Amino acid sequence: MSDPSLYKDRVRVYPRAVRGVARRVKWAVLVFCLVVYYALPWFRWTRGPGQPSQAVLLDIGHERFYFFAIEFWPQDIYYLTGALILAAVGLFLVTSLVGRAWCAYACPQTVWTDLFMRVERLIQGDRNARMKRDQGHTDFAKIWRKTATHAAWLGIAFWTGGAWIMYFADAPTVTRDFWRGTAAADVYVFTSLFTATTYVLAGWAREQVCTYMCPWPRFQASMLDEHSLIVTYESWRGEPRGHGKRPPALLGANQLGANQLGAKPLGANERGDCIDCSACVNVCPTGIDIRDGSQLECINCGLCIDACNEVMTKTGQPKWLVRWDTLANQEARAAGRPVPFHLLRPRTLIYIAALVVGFVVMGVALANRAQIDLAVEHDRAPLFVTLRNGSLRNAYTLKISNKTHEATAFAIGLNGIDGAALSLAEDSEDHLPHLTLTVAPDAIGTYRVLVFARPAKPLDAAQDLIFTARNARTGETAAYTSVFMGPTAHATR
């Protein structure tokens, strides 16, 4: 027995144009996504002198992410983590409610593939013309249409790659520098890289990305259940399928209105509503047949619904032979007992609750986000110094983050050890209960300070020491618990 091959040759898909509600929704979402993607880097936002004026900017060089009025520092990485978790839970909720709506309408792979297919159709014609041309001999018309298609794809890909770079640098500046040839080398490298990936993924790989490269279809099945809204084929109404428009005598029992009540046994000469025209297959961007049931390749775009509705209208039969439905409802309607949709189910309620909690926690955390951050590092060597008068000295490095846009004076204080005093390392003669340290706007100030103390009782190696940094203007305070080191209790006896 020969081994079955694990490799399947690619069957080229030539999706046909279609009109209908799913197609209109897809166009609307596509236009919205593209406009947002290409236009967003050009939005301006006033942040004050010396600050970037781009509304959305990931400034890697200065370790900042600007999102309109919010400015994230590296220490705020947990907000990004929270946003990603919320996005994932939102995706789980949408999938459990309406299947792969993300894949069908808003995934970048779908959006750009749809755009590339539209360009291809404009230049090379619809499905039949493209198939005929690909199978025919090479002539001038074929050469110029193919060349024009790839040139247009490359143009879009370049625009897309260039727009991506603008999220990492000031858009007007990087655009001007790019065309003058004075931009940094990595701008040209990454623009080329994103141009190439867009061209390959949307122009060549297309449905192969969704079927073989993307992990999401593999585990989205765990979010679906029999009450999720997906694209389905009413086999109880469509079968047995047969070619062509049927004479009234052969119309099945599942006709005009009866389909809403469920299947009835068909007579020997009766046929289902499906005329086996393959319109639903021909419009499918992944080239599958929805009549074979729910499949991994199906992105739930609904274009087969539009195609079948066109056919049903032409043949004078009720629409929605292919429709958005739940598997539970399909089964129930086939048995003549329609069931209502169950949008609120334990799994969707859990996702909704997780989203609400996540948004509240993120919202409160963002609203109360500190404008100061204080980090303290104790010197490792020596851990402490015993002075001639018997008191102890410890050294620390303070890092004060000033997230405001103005130079700010911070009052540094100590808690935890009575009588502890501070001094700047380079000015160790003055022992003060407080120090005033100034930090430049939107910067981290680093200072080395000394703490002098004579603890009332033996330290037994270490005692908590709390540093505080108070914004002298606003009163906002940050604290950091460090340690004050000394000899062990045993050693001091």
Q: How many helices (H) and strands (E) does the chain have?
A: 17, 14
Query: Does the footprint of ligand SF4 cover residue 302 (CB under 6 A)?
Result: yes
Instruction: CB nearer to ligand SF4: give 18 or 165.
Output: 18
Specify the stretch interacting with ligand SF4 by CB under 6 A; choose among 3-11, 290-298, 418-426, 485-493: 290-298
Nearest distance from residue 367's CB to ligand SF4, in Å? 42
116: three-class secondary structure by DSSP: helix
Q: Does 412 bind ligand SF4 (CB under 6 A)?
A: no
Structure tokens at 327: 């598997």
Pick 161 or 285: Cβ nearer ligand SF4: 285
Q: Is 29 exposed, middle or buried (0-12, 13-18, 19+ CB in 10 A)?
A: middle
Could you tell me if 101 and 300 are in contact, meaning their C-beta atoms sit under 8 angstroms apart? Answer: yes
132: tokens are 């005929």
At 38, which amino acid appears? Y
Q: How many residues bind ligand SF4 (CB under 6 A)?
A: 28
Among 34, 55, 224, 298, binds ligand SF4 (CB under 6 A): 298
Contact 168, 66 (CB under 8 A): no
Residue selected from 101, 119, 290, 485 as contacting ligand SF4 according to rule CB under 6 A: 290
3-state secondary structure of 92: helix
Contact in structure between 452 and 387 (CB atoms under 8 Å): yes
311 contributes a contact to ligand SF4 by CB under 6 A = yes
Kindly state the smallest distance separating residue 281's Cβ from ligand SF4, in Å.
7
Among 34-42, 155-163, 285-293, 376-384, the segment contacting ligand SF4 (CB under 6 A): 285-293
Instruction: For ligand SF4, give the closer residue by CB, 22 or 421.
Output: 22
How far from 128 is each of 59, 118, 124, 245, 289, CA to CA, in Å?
Answer: 48, 15, 10, 22, 18
Closer Cβ to ligand SF4, 244 or 433, answer by number = 244
Residue identified by tokens 């931009």 is 183
Q: Determine, following the binding rule CB under 6 A, whether residue 98 of this chain makes contact with ligand SF4.
A: no
Token pair of 3, please?
Answer: 């081994």
State yes or no: cis peptide before 4, omega within 30 of 0.
no
Residue among 163, 303, 414, 449 that touches ligand SF4 (CB under 6 A):
303
**Span of 276-284, 404-412, 413-421, 458-466 interacting with ligand SF4 by CB under 6 A:** 276-284
Using rule CB under 6 A, residue 275 touches ligand SF4 = yes
Give the residue with the Cβ less far from ligand SF4, 238 or 252: 238
Q: Does 119 bind ligand SF4 (CB under 6 A)?
A: no
Give the SS3 label for residue 283: coil
DSSP 8-state code for residue 202 = I
The only residue of 101, 201, 299, 376 in contact with ligand SF4, by rule CB under 6 A: 299
* Position 229 contacts ligand SF4 (CB under 6 A): no
Stretch that binds ligand SF4, among 108-116, 118-126, 143-151, 282-290 (CB under 6 A): 282-290
Cis-peptide, bond into residue 458, ω within 30° of zero = no
276 interacts with ligand SF4 by CB under 6 A? yes
CB of 105 to ligand SF4, least distance (A): 11
Q: Give the three-class secondary structure for 142.
A: helix
Out of 89, 117, 277, 450, point to the residue binding ligand SF4 (CB under 6 A).
277
Judged by CB under 6 A, does residue 117 bind ligand SF4? Answer: no
Contact mark string toward ligand SF4, 312..341, x via CB under 6 A = ---------xx-------------------
Q: Does 300 bind ligand SF4 (CB under 6 A)?
A: yes
Closest CB 284 distance from ligand SF4, rounded Å = 3
Residue 286 as a binder of ligand SF4 (CB under 6 A): the answer is: yes
Does residue number 231 form part of the binding site for ligand SF4 (CB under 6 A)?
Answer: yes
Q: Check binding of 414 to ligand SF4 (CB under 6 A).
A: no
Interface with ligand SF4, residue 224, by CB under 6 A:
no
Contact indicator for 400, 439 with CB cutoff of 8 Å: yes
Binding residue for ligand SF4 (CB under 6 A) from 274, 417, 422, 450?
274
Close Cβ partners of 9 (under 8 Å, ≥ 6 residues apart): none
CB of 348 to ligand SF4, least distance (A): 22
Applying CB under 6 A, does 465 fall inside the site for ligand SF4?
no
Chain centre to alpha carbon of residue 233 = 31
Q: What interhelical angle do 303-314 and 21-39 show, nearest 10?
A: 150
- Report the SS3 class of residue 413: strand
Task: Tell me how far apart the alpha carbons of residues 312 and 72 are, in angstroms, rounded to a whole number.
Answer: 54
Q: Is 280 in the site for ligand SF4 (CB under 6 A)?
A: yes
Rg (CA), the chain: 33
Residue 349 neighbours by CB under 8 Å, 6+ apart: none
Beta bridge partners of 66: 57, 71
Closer to ligand SF4 by Cβ: residue 246 or 470: 246
Is residue 29 within 8 A of residue 301, CB to CB? The reply is no
Name the helix (H) or strand (E) containing 72.
strand 70-72
Q: Which residues bind ligand SF4 (CB under 6 A)?
A: 231, 238, 274-280, 283-286, 288, 290-291, 298-304, 307-308, 311, 321-322
